[in-house]
Structure 1
Amino acid sequence: MIQRYTSWNKLLRKALWWLVIIGMLCSLPLVYTRYETETSAKQVEFVFDYRDLLDIADLQTSPQDFVKKQLVAMKEAGIGSLAVYEATLSELRQSRLIEMYNSREAVALTQTIGLPNENFTYILFSDAQARLQLQPLIEKTFADLQVRTRPWSFKNQAGLIIEMIMDEASLKPMDPDPITLSMLKEQGFQIVVRLSNRRAFVPNQMDALLKHLYSFGVKKIIVDGDSVPGYTEEDTSENLDKMAELLHKYGMGLAAIEMLKQPQKGFNTLAKETNFDVVRLHSYMERDGEKLMENLKKEELEQRIQAAADRLVLAVKDRNIRMVFLNAKPLKSLDRAAIVNPLNALYASLNGKDGAIPRIEKAGFTTGQAEAFLVKESSWQKVARFFILVGSVSLITLLISYFFPQVALLVFVIGLVGAVGLHTLSGSLYAQGLALGAAISAPSIAVMLAIRSVIQGKAARWRSGIAFALLQIIKTSAISMIGVVYVIVLLNQITYFLVLEQFRGVGLLHLLPIAIVAIYLLLFSDDSTYTQKLQKLKAILSSNIRVLWLVLVGIAVAAGYYYLSRTGNEGQAPAFEKLFRSFLENTLGVRPRIKEFLFAHPLFFLGAYLSIRYKHAVYLMLIGVIGQLSIVDTFAHLHTPMAISGIRISYGIIFGIIVGLVMIAVWEIVVRSWKRWAPQFKG
């Protein structure tokens, strides 16, 4: 039995690489469908928050004239859409469509004696048209809240009394203001509507609302608040199904706001029920606009305008953003003794010198109503799944076999059975589990093979260290790309493109390959027996600790902490590095990762060059695993187009080689100078 297992195990080990390569080749058609999906939507929509415009206008001497002027300026700047919220009495007041008073103010206005036990809301309509369109809307809203309303007038101006305190009544949401909708449509703007879950979900009322919005050409809904319309903490599926049905009925989709602290409740369910008619939205917040209103010199303001433009271009080009939502607010400036706003600076960032919109159009996009990605599928997909499963399990097995070759067959069988079982339990866990395994295995194997070529003396046979280094970095990067292919095809779903679902385990991807390759180098890179490996480990653990070792460990821990702090979306970069990043982005179009081309790839290249003469140079090659895992991690950012990721890693390798050549030149100068001058110092 053991002999049969051994023979099968030996046969499998020879076949593992072939299974990995076959799985990868069978995956390539699916990689192409991913590319087709990513390039299926090229329109970018710039949306301004109309409520913010009203806030700014409210502090102007001629609010309505200011709004008209800014709408023209927005059109000229390339803003084609306005976001309209569910109306409130407060917003209607800002629009100068109504005036609003509490009971005391109404008494003062009418010069009558008020009732001491009354604290109601009094409103007056600006004109007959406002009354005609708004009175039914207001009466229905408060009737639904079981709040009584009754007619009121002052000096032949019609109004209403709402039996609710003004502070509360002014917050109650109602259908979007029809007068504003008509005005914006006449001005030639597309309208994006923000709907909340602050009102009770009544299907026939929502149907009427969406039908009304459809008549104004509304195509996208942005959820306002922390939950979608129809969501409840109890049984929400029926409401969400109905909401999705209504959105589909009127051809409306959703916008997914990126980088929210908490996902909007019910959003993923609603997105799924609408067949992922969803676009990604990037918000330029009020606090971002504040940076454009500070008391700055002209050069400093231009730099910040340029930074805003860079940010918007990067969002569209690198993160599949198809809707840019612009916010602004007024600010009291003590330095200028004036009320200021960022609108002109914001327009300059869009269509001024090196503005975002011309650069976005130059990159192949157009401005217009945002459209959802058209998900492409391949008939080959069902067949490819089998080869993807076998190939990814083979890749993981291959990694383990470099440490424990005797268990390869056992690991392979357990891996296949476990993966099938995991798929039955959860398709998402299956895909993410295998993708993470492939992402960790590929760069680990790649660097381990490079290290083994040095340990086994293959490097010493080369005459040219540069030729050997070039071969190693190209071969190592190619093996790492195998992991990239498996990550792409295993997570080839629209939910990852839209970041409705995220690839978990990125922290492990940044740490495990380093640990795996380090263990391999220390204990498994030679042909010693397990007993000898154990003795070597004991010798390392029982070694006398020296101060130098403690210093080196401290440096390593600090470097590791800094390395981890820089990974992911939460990582922070110092100001000088941000400037360098911006320079690279604007110069190259796609910014290579600094840790790749200035650190990991050059040190790997230098280590490979030196390894033809010094075996211990292999420890420099160990650092190269950071660059290789970064290659895989770049493609694990699934909301970034593959073409962008491909350019990014290509730049990283090319510039990494150039920096590596510079390091080699410096090394040779130092070594030759030392050989020349050191004997003189000894004398």
Structure 2
Amino acid sequence: MNWYKTWNNPLKNVLWWLVIIGMLGSLPLAFTRHQTETSANKVEFVFDYRDLLDVSDIQTNPQTFVAEHLKKMKAAGIQSMAVYESTLAELRESRRIEMYNSRDAAALTQTFGNPNENFTYVLFPDSATQQKLEPLIQKTFGDLQVGVKPWSFRNKNGLIIQMSSDDASIKTMDPDPITLQALKDQGFQIVVRLSNRRAFVTNDMDRLLKQLYDLGVKRILVDGNEVPGYTEENTEVNLNKMADLLHKYDIGLAAIEMLKEPQKGFSTLAKQTNYNVVRLHSFTEKDSEKLMEPLKKAELEDRIQGVADRFVLAVKDRNIRMVFLNAKPLKSLDKGKLVDPLAAFYESLQGKDGAIPRIEKAGFTLGTAEAFTVESNGWQKIARVFILVGGVSLIVLTASFFIPESVLFLFVIGLLGAIALHTLSANLYAQALALATAICAPSVAMMLVIRAIQSGAAAKWKSGLAFGLWQLLKTSLISLIGVVFEVALLNHISYSLVIQQFRGVSALHLLPIAIVALYLLFFSENNTYKEKQAKVRKIFSSYISVLWIVVAGIVLAAGYYYLSRTGNEGQASSIEKLFRSFLENTLGVRPRTKEFLFAHPLFLLGAYLSVRYRNAMYVLFIGVMGQLSIVDTFAHLHTPLHISLIRITYGLVFGALIGIVFIIAWEIITRSWKRWVPQWSK
């Protein structure tokens, strides 16, 4: 096996060069993503017009109320209205029609109705409204094979629909053409919410989209859990037809963030429309209720400020280009009146520290939301070859810390496996390699520091602070290698739009800790495999003391708390939320708390102490959480790259400063201890 050793031993040094080449090859792809996510900077605030009708319905003068608040919304920066497919119930709420059941109609006409009839009676207020709405109603119920015949009462024309009013009132029709035209005439951009509640008919959808195109509609928002055209059978055919129609009229989609479940067919429709999609943040009716609770003036102002902060953060940090506002009226028993959140909305947008001025200050403009322009070039295909080789090399380098003799074998197997996985599924390959490099980079970075301490290289430094600062910088730069691979491998627009999710990221929060801990305990010393085995047996055969149980309990509790704070579902106290808001508003970008308050300072303290005390590397070990957090920051693929870079830079700078405070505190405590303890012992 001499030939194997001849190739295996030098390969460890070659792997570093392959990693560097792969990283350099990744940079153009990372830059391409930066170009893409900065290609659209218009932000659109949209209000739910149906909610405005709901609020107006409790007012003394509903139509006057709607007219007044449309002007106020324009002034506040809400330039778009969301209009749904209409129903008889909504037409009645907007005062377009009056609707009765058979019993009410009999009472109205002062006749004795047929006891075996339960129909729906509709009256139009005038001939102009009848001319617009009657064909719409006739077609809707005709398609449902429901009988419709004319009816009149006191010179008002109407229709009798042979269906119960409860059933008829919820049947879906095209959007109200009167409302659409009125909103357009008042200068509002229209966003239409389309559902899949009606049978998909290509000609009918073509006619509807042509009407919307003529009204200047640029984007539709899916209403419900399925996109128009989604069916159990012939889904692909229908979605392709829907995509062709959207292409024909240059109408895009809006992707609602943080849905519990993806809307069925959305990813297919997005792909077929070349990702003419913008991300949408929804301020729900439940959110608006918090602005109507009985609060003191200062408490309400804090909540309004929180809403403004939320909108700014969504646009700046999550690539949101459309903010959708919902509202609902409430009966406030505490105030003894009907309340709504509209005034609070206006204040959050344009009041003190309002969202819109801050969004504009950050470089965005108000306007119709536009999809990102996807940049691409011929270098990408070549770059992906370097990325594959560099990514596999980084994984093999990690393994070399444990079994250096396996480098050549793992490198060959890794290359063949990566190529096979890419052939099987390019998406699965990209996610797997991105996750593997994200895990390996901070692991390698931390193991190199531990190796430097164990080898005695740390003890040669005259300044512990200089050693600590250098190791923090070097370790973070090595961790960033994983970031470059991660960003390059997952630079597809579907990740930025969160149409595709980066799976398995939870492993990133634990595996680097486990890898570095395993190395620190069993592989950091220059022992033979027999000595390593003996050490393992010694640990597992040791007697368990109460102290061990207490320590294990503390470690488990700390691990549980760490996991509870990780990811989008992580919990934070109200005090911490205020602290986060302060950092966000003061710095513009909030550094991650666990980095600058905990992991980086302890890393620096541990590195400082390791110059004198080798066992201080167990304190430094905690710093692995800061290193994996650096990589995890960029795993939030919907966050712009420059925001993530600023975030980790702040984390390192403030972490180093707090680490220096830790060092000063250590020196004060230890020197005081040495000075006073001998006197007490006398």
Same topology, TM > 0.5 = yes
- What is the Cα deviation at residue 30 of structure 1? 1.4
Matched residues in 1 for 2:12 and 2:452: separation? Answer: 19
**Paired residue type of 1:48:** F
Question: Would you say 1:49 and 2:48 are equivalent positions?
Answer: yes
Question: What is the match of residue 260 of structure 2?
Answer: 261
Query: How far apart are 1:394 and its partner, in Å?
Result: 0.2
Q: CA deviation at 1:507?
A: 1.1
The aligned counterpart of 2:554 is 555
Match of 1:568 in 2: 567
Q: After TM superposition, give the deviation of residue 27 of structure 1 in Å.
A: 1.4
Aligned to 1:127: 126
The equivalent residue for 1:80 is 79
Q: Specify the alignment match of 1:37 in structure 2.
A: 36
How many residues end up aligned between the 2 structures? 682
Aligned equivalents of 1:562, 1:127: Cα separation in 2: 65
Distance in structure 2 (CA, Å) of the matches to 1:242 and 1:545? 68
2-structure distance, mates of 1:572, 1:609: 33
Q: Which residue of 2 aligns with 1:222?
A: 221
Q: Counterpart of 1:280?
A: 279
Match of 2:630 in 1: 631
Deviations 1:64-86 (A, max 9, x none): 00000000000000000000000
Q: 1-side partners of 2:125 and 2:479: how far apart?
A: 68
3-state SS of paired residue (1:173):
coil
Q: Are positions 1:588 and 2:587 aligned together?
A: yes
Q: Which residue of 2 aligns with 1:206?
A: 205
Query: What corresponds to 1:415 in structure 2?
Result: 414
CA distance in 1, matches of 2:477, 2:116: 81
8 Å CA contact 1:596–1:656 kept in 2: the answer is yes
- For residue 506 of structure 1, report the CA deviation from its aligned partner: 1.1
Residue identity in the other structure for 1:412: F
CA distance in 2 between counterparts of 1:574 and 1:452 reads 38
TM-score norm. by structure 1 comes to 0.99
How far apart, CA to CA, are the structure 2 residues paired with 1:468 and 1:234?
65
* Alignment correspondent of 2:607: 608
SS at structure 1 position matched to 2:111: coil
Matched, 1:530 2:529: yes
Partners of 2:361 and 2:267 lie apart in 1 by 33
RMSD: 0.6
> What is the alpha-carbon distance in structure 2 between the residues aligned to residue 504 and residue 617 of structure 1?
35
The residue number in structure 2 matching 1:250 is 249
- Tell me whether 1:617 sits opposite 2:616 in the alignment: yes
Q: CA deviation at 1:234?
A: 2.3
Q: In structure 2, what is the Cα distance between the partners aligned to 1:333 and 1:80?
A: 30
* Residue in 1 that maps onto 2:499: 500
Aligned to 1:350: 349
In the TM superposition, what whole-angstrom CA distance separates every residue of 1:148-169 from its partner, at most 9, and x where no partner exists? 0111111001111000000110
Amino acid across the alignment from 1:545: I
Q: How does 1:49-448 map to 2 (within 5 A)?
A: 49-448=48-447
Matched residue of 1:209: which SS? helix
Q: Quote the offset at 1:11 in angstroms.
A: 2.1
Give distance in 2, aligned partners of 1:546 and 1:38. Answer: 56
| Matched position secondary structure for 2:644 | helix
1-structure distance, mates of 2:234, 2:211? 28
Deviations 1:563-617 (A, max 9, x none): 1111111112111111110000000000000000000000000000001111110
Find the aligned partners of 1:99 and 1:167 in 2 and give their Cα distance. Answer: 14
C-alpha distance in 2, partners of 1:333/1:242?
48
Corresponding residue number in structure 1 for 2:657: 658
The alignment partner of 2:279 has SS state of: strand
5+ residue gaps in structure 2?
none
Letter in 2 for 1:327: N
Q: Aligned partners of 1:613, 1:234: CA distance in 2, in Å? A: 71
Q: 1:559 & 1:350 partners in 2: Cα distance?
A: 40
Equivalent-residue separation in structure 2 for 1:123 and 1:437 (angstroms): 64
Tell me if the contact between 1:30 and 1:378 (Cα under 8 Å) persists in the aligned partners: no
Deviation, 1:378, is: 2.1
Q: CA deviation at 1:382?
A: 1.0
Query: Once the 2 structures are TM-superposed, how far is the Cα of residue 308 of structure 1 from its aligned partner?
Result: 0.2
* Amino acid corresponding to residue 646 of structure 1 in structure 2: L
Do the aligned partners of 1:29 and 1:378 also contact (CA within 8 Å) in 2?
no
Q: Deviation digits for residues 289-335 of structure 1, max 9, x if unmatched? A: 11111111111111000000000000000000000000000001000
2:668 aligned residue: 669
CA deviations 1:234-286 (Å, max 9, x no partner) are 23000000000000000000000000000000000000000000000000001
The one-letter amino acid of 2:27's match is L
Q: Partner of 2:581: helix, strand, or coil? A: helix
CA deviation after TM superposition for structure 1 residue 337, in Å: 0.9
Note the alpha carbon deviations across 1:175-202, whole angstroms, 9 max, x for none.
Answer: 0000000100010000000000000000
Which TM-score applies when normalising by structure 2? 1.00
- SS of the equivalent of 1:279 reads strand
1:619 is matched by which residue type in structure 2? Y
Q: Secondary structure at the match of 1:101?
A: strand
Question: Counterpart of 1:230 in structure 2: which amino acid?
Answer: G
Out of 290-299 and 178-187, give the one that drifted further. Answer: 290-299
Deviation at 1:14, TM superposition (A): 1.6
SS of the residue 2:510 aligns to? helix
